[in-house]
A and B are shown apart, each in its own frame.
Chain A
């Protein structure tokens, strides 16, 4: 039987594997329930991206327990972890980490080809549908390197959602009052309205005040839950206002 929590972090230390396993945040307690919409902010280098990757089961924690769908990741077999990861979407920052040797369409089709028995025609139809949704129909056969990072991240979103997901992590989508930021807000708000659990790493809280339910910070090595949009709006004197956009 699955837990009511999709993801649980219990006394977790978040590390950065490329920085010699340096610990970025200590003793994190975080529970993510089905239908939650979290926005996590923090100063640059505080460990937002590493926290998201750890919660998604992509980074090994320095200490503590990460539970995914009620099961401790450390005790799970590789096969079980791979099975759970299929239900967790992750959109990486800075271009979405697309595979450079594949075209945009091939990047999107990869998980369908790997995990499903869909025919090539069905896959092409689904990829075309998503290409249209992310506004990149004319770039299907383009190498990702030829797209700018904002468009690459859109492809990353499509790639993450090609197979059904229970939860989606989005690391640093565009911010500010730009057309791209608005596009991301609309897309993710629509997904949230459809019942998708969302975790967004962003310092632009203003963009998400209308749609997100919970806000949190990674600051000074700690994970701080701020609360809902009202609490965020009320924190006019808080020190995190220096790097978080609220207005």
Chain B
């Protein structure tokens, strides 16, 4: 009786959690392999056919970066007014204004800025990538490129990886600057006894060179993860047009999980700097 129950619990575990873990590991291996191959192509072929591929990189920066600036600026302003301004006001009220810089750098520069920007880029450009590439794959564009002797990773994936990495970095930088600016504006309106110079002086003191390095690395990698996951789902398997919407949803979930996991790794890195 006990043995039967143990067997069925084990079977249930194997069929649910076990299978899920195996599928997740398989996916990780496949996306990892795709990321390694893409990195290889990006490094070795960056300057191959520049008059074809470099305009595609600029186009991706335009689509994922420049066109998203207004949305990022709006979110940054809201973040600055609602959260940062209130935090500054509160810390000043309890006499802890010397921690303003540290709190702002930790919250905005290290955590919220990069992750929020990555999620915005994922929502706007990552989903568009899966739909575009999935449709291109379903319509036979990949075979058409190969028939012309054009490496589809070089033509379709590399511009997106570079474009999204640059875009997330630039947008996160703007988001951070606007958030800090609006934070001071809110504090000013609230009559917080802190000058512009004191506020930005504190922020400047709290930032170390490692913060800038890790910020660039983190935002670049967030962009890379979004691009690789979305391109993998769009291109890695033959798709029918009706499969594209389901694949897009999966790609979004996996890119979010990827970004959060990377964020966790960076939290550990911050403990040592």
Contacts and interface: CB of A to CB of B under 8 A. Distances in A.
Interface residues of B, number: 17
Nearest to B140: A97
A185 interface: no
B146 A85 contact: yes
B247 to A, nearest CB: 14
Interface of B: 49, 51-52, 139-141, 143-144, 146-151, 155, 238, 240
A111 interface: yes
Interface in A52-109: 53, 56, 58-59, 78, 82-83, 85-86, 88-90, 92, 97-100
10 contacts: A17-B238, A18-B238, A58-B143, A82-B149, A85-B148, A92-B144, A92-B147, A97-B140, A98-B144, A110-B150
Contacts of A115: 49, 149
Nearest to B49: A114
Ordered nearest first, which 4 A-B pairs have the shortest CB separation? A86-B149, A90-B147, A97-B144, A85-B149
Contacts of B151: 78, 82
Contacts of B150: 82, 110-111, 114
A160 B147 contact: yes
A113 interface: yes
B148 A114 contact: yes
Contacts of A98: 144
A115 B149 CA distance: 8
Nearest to A59: B143
B146 A58 contact: yes
Interface residues of A, number: 27
A19 to B, nearest CB: 9
B49 A113 contact: yes
Contacts of B144: 92, 97-99
Given A58-B146, A86-B148, A160-B147, 4 more contacts: A110-B150, A114-B150, A115-B149, A160-B148
Contacts of B240: 18
Contacts of A111: 148-150
Interface string A158-191: 0110010000000000000000000000000000
Nearest to A78: B151
A48 to B, nearest CB: 15
Given A113-B49, A114-B49, A115-B49, A83 B149 contact: yes
